[in-house]
Structures are given as structure tokens and as C-alpha cells.
């Protein structure tokens, strides 16, 4: 068991299922499949025996959700394109490992054996670091929430996070999302500078800064798994 960075919650595992206990969830228990992983969100007081019974009762539902998440997986490279700011960009591969992407030639460096995915990942990450840095600075001023620093990281289970020092960390894979979705994630993490949890106060402040955030949040739920697993 260990405490998360977000205030008032802790994580443990029961039968290989991630259990997130939080003081903000007073009564309800939520069972979900997120990024192909089964999770339970519940109050602190819920017993382990109750959660084990719940998992057993919902076994068929869990299997179906996991199967659905696998069926929705899309290998963009196999389809000959990637997403950049939510738009399709075709990949044209030439001889000698040269790739034309967004009008730019990406080719292997002398003495280095880079495959197609690593070349494209390198390009995307470079674009992401530049764009996310400028965009976070712009949005910070626009919504009047300051932050101390920004780092671009590689995550497989989250789009970003913020610690109690006002340091923001964003997933470089955000560059594949539509621009308005990127803005939502940035706003989400900036709001955490002021409210370090997912309380009602937090979501009210997110709504104040981004009135249409629910549509963007839902887009991530429906499409995010394919991108974050790139």
C-alpha cells in the first residue's frame, strides 16, 4: 500500500486489481476498466472482503470490458498514418529507411539503427516539447494560475500530474490529441496547483476555467487508450 501524490488518497492491490481509497468518496464504490487495467475507487472504510465479493460478482462484466478495450486498439503505423494534434498525417516510406512525415524527411542517423516507430516517436516528442511548453505558459497567463516548472515525460497510464511544489508533468503523447483536449489536460493540471485533489472544489474550478471540459474529458476516455499506448 502507498500514498499517491494527490492529497487524501492511497493505493493498494487486491487480487491484482488496483484499489484507490480516498476521503473524497464518502459512500460510493466505482468499478472500472481504465487503460486495460481493472480499478476500484472507494472510501477508506470499505473492507477487503466486500471488494473481493464485488470482483467475483462482476467477473463477467470485467471480462467483457477488458475484451472491448482490446478490440478498440488501433495500430496507426500499420494503417499508414499517425495523429498529430488530432489530425491524420500520412506516412510515406521511401527506400533506405527514409520516411516523409508532415512534409519532412526523417531518416536514420549514420551508425544508428532506428526503426520507423522510433523515428516518428522522436519527431513527435520534439514537436510535443515545444508545443506543450508554449501552450502551458499561454494558458497559465490566460486563467491566472502560476506554476513553478514544466517537464515533458513519457507515461503509459496518465496524461499529466502536478505535485505540491507547483511542478507540472505532461505526457508527450498529448501532441496526438486534438488541441482543445490538450488545453483541457493543461488546465486540469494547472488547477491542481491550487486544489491538490479531485474534490467538488477542484471540478468547479476546472469548469470555471474550461466550461466545456466534460466533452474533452469524455474524448480522452473514448480515444485516449490508443494514443497513450503508442
The mean pLDDT of 49-75, rounded to a whole number, is 81
Quickly tell me which residue has 491542481 as its cell. 192
pLDDT band for 97, please (50, 70, 90 cuts): low
Residue 111: the pLDDT is 45
The domain ranges of the chain are 2-71, 81-228
Residue 132: count other Cβ atoms within 10 Å of its Cβ.
Answer: 23
- CA dist., res. 174 & res. 15, Å (int): 32
Helix axis angle, 59-71 to 48-57, nearest 10°: 60
Helix axes 213-228, 179-194, angle to 10 degrees: 110
| Averaged pLDDT for residues 23-41 | 82
Mean pLDDT of the chain: 84
Q: What is the pLDDT of residue 4?
A: 44
Quote the pLDDT of residue 114. 60
Give the Cα separation of 97 and 107 in Å (integer): 6
* pLDDT above 70 (res 143): yes
Task: Out of 3.30.2010.10, 3.10.620.30, 3.40.50.720, 3.40.50.300, select the CATH number for domain 81-228.
Answer: 3.30.2010.10
User: Per-residue pLDDT for 102 more than 60?
Assistant: yes
Location of C-alpha cell 494560475: 145
The DSSP call for residue 157 is S
206 or 89, which is more confident:
206
Kindly report which listed range (22-31, 56-65, 175-184) carries the lowest average pLDDT score.
22-31
Which is nearest to 14 in space by CA: 45, 43, 36, 47?
47
Whole-angstrom distance, CA of residue 230 vs CA of residue 220: 14
Rounded distance, CA 147 to CA 133, Å?
12
Confidence of residue 72 (pLDDT cuts 50, 70, 90): low
What stretch of H or E contains 189?
Answer: helix 179-194
Strands 167-171 and 149-153, by their bridges, are parallel
Mean pLDDT (whole number) for 8-13: 81
Angle between helices 200-209 and 179-194 (to 10 degrees): 130
Number of helices (H) and strands (E) in the chain: give both, helices first: 6, 12
**Residue 38 in 3-state DSSP?**
strand
- CA distance linking residue 228 with residue 91, whole number of Å: 20
- Whether pLDDT at 110 is above 50: no
Amino acid at each position: 500500500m502507498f500514498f499517491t501524490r494527490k492529497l487524501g488518497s492511497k493505493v493498494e492491490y487486491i487480487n491484482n486489481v488496483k484499489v484507490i481509497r480516498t476521503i473524497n468518496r464518502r459512500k460510493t464504490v466505482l468499478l472500472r476498466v481504465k487503460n486495460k487495467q481493472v480499478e476500484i475507487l472507494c472510501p477508506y472504510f470499505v473492507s477487503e472482503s466486500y471488494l473481493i465479493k464485488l470482483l467475483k460478482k462482476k467477473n463477467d462484466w470485467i471480462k467483457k470490458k477488458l475484451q472491448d478495450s482490446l478490440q478498440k486498439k488501433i495500430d496507426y503505423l500499420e494503417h499508414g498514418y499517425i495523429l498529430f494534434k488530432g489530425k491524420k498525417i500520412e506516412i510515406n516510406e521511401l527506400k533506405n529507411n527514409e520516411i516523409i512525415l508532415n512534409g519532412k524527411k526523417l531518416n536514420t542517423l549514420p551508425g544508428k539503427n532506428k526503426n520507423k516507430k522510433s523515428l516518428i516517436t522522436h519527431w513527435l516528442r520534439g514537436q510535443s516539447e515545444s508545443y506543450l511548453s508554449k501552450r502551458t505558459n499561454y494558458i497559465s497567463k490566460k486563467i491566472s494560475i502560476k506554476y513553478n516548472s514544466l517537464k515533458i515525460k513519457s507515461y503509459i497510464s496518465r496524461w499529466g500530474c502536478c505535485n505540491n511544489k507547483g511542478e507540472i508533468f505532461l505526457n508527450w503523447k498529448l501532441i496526438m490529441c486534438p488541441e482543445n483536449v490538450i488545453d483541457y489536460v493543461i488546465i486540469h493540471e494547472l488547477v491542481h496547483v491550487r486544489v491538490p485533489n479531485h474534490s467538488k472544489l477542484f471540478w468547479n474550478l476546472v469548469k470555471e476555467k474550461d466550461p466545456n471540459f466534460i466533452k474533452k474529458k469524455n474524448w480522452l476516455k473514448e480515444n485516449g487508450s490508443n494514443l497513450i499506448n503508442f
